[in-house]
Chains A and B, each alone.
Chain A
Amino acid sequence: MRVSKCDPRLAKMLIEQYGGADGELSAALRYLNQRYSIPDKVIGLLTDIGTEEFAHLEMIATMVYKLTKDATPEQLREAGLGDHYVNHGYSLFYHDAAGNPWTAAYIASKGDPIADLYEDIAAEEKARATYQWIIDNTDDPDIKDSLRFLREREVIHSLRFREAVEILKEYQGSKKVF
């Protein structure tokens, strides 16, 4: 992960994708939990995407860490991270940009395959939008590069969940390559 400037203010926003409702932790746990009760045809998809989300979680963690590790307590305070510093020091924590701690209530699982997949599609679109709003808030070209990549992955995940819905509808006439 490349980060070109010390910007703890951006770390405060990025943490949304670490411990927020539509963040990578929520996504990984949501999919890896749903896969037990989803029809066999789409278990592999949930395993695949859920695992990828953990890799994205590591990318976000690395960005947040690099943006804050050499900042002084004063710089953290100016970035709005004074409360975080008092509670967690330089460590990361699973909370959103507003400081709300991560909760399992973010993990949707209804046990109804169609309802769960639509939930997953919505989660991907929300994560895509979140990345847009974060990109709008930085001018660091390296961070922007990484965030654009992560946003595009949300696009592809949403696409694949939409296809999973089609598979469950058994509506696909011809053989498709996924």
Chain B
Amino acid sequence: MTVDGNLPEWRPYVNYRSPFDPCSARVKWYDVPPEVTHPVQKSARKQYAPQEALRKGTLWPEYDSPYPPA
């Protein structure tokens, strides 16, 4: 299995349901953020402009993880 660069950051899952569950079924999502899929930074990556980086909280688009997901 390769590093999952192509899988989406947010992955859906469904819990087991019994016939008597009181609430209606709902798909849940869990985050596999970029630092988990790419735990070591490569050199010469793209950078945001300084002002944009300050707003976003990261200089690196590769590690930008918006919430809620787009």
Contacts and interface: CB of A to CB of B under 8 A. Distances in A.
Same complex: yes
Nearest to A156: B58
Nearest to A171: B40
Interface in A142-178: 145, 148-153, 155-156, 158-159, 162-163, 166, 172, 174-178
User: Size class of B's contact patch?
Assistant: 20 to 34
Report whether over half of chain B's contact residues are helix, strand or loop; otherwise say mixed: loop
B35 A155 contact: yes
Nearest to A175: B43
B41 A152 contact: no
A131 B65 CA distance: 13
Given A149-B55, A162-B35, A155 B65 contact: yes
A67 interface: no
Contacts, number: 65
B67 interface: yes
B41 A176 contact: yes
A155 B56 contact: no
B67 A149 contact: no
A153 B57 contact: yes
Contact of B33 (A155, A166, A174): A155
Nearest to B55: A149
A80 B55 CA distance: 32
Nearest to B45: A177
A128 interface: yes
Interface of A: 125, 128-129, 131-132, 135-136, 145, 148-153, 155-156, 158-159, 162-163, 166, 172, 174-178
18 contacts: A128-B31, A149-B57, A152-B56, A152-B58, A152-B64, A153-B58, A155-B33, A155-B57, A156-B63, A158-B36, A159-B34, A162-B35, A163-B41, A166-B40, A174-B43, A175-B43, A176-B40, A178-B41
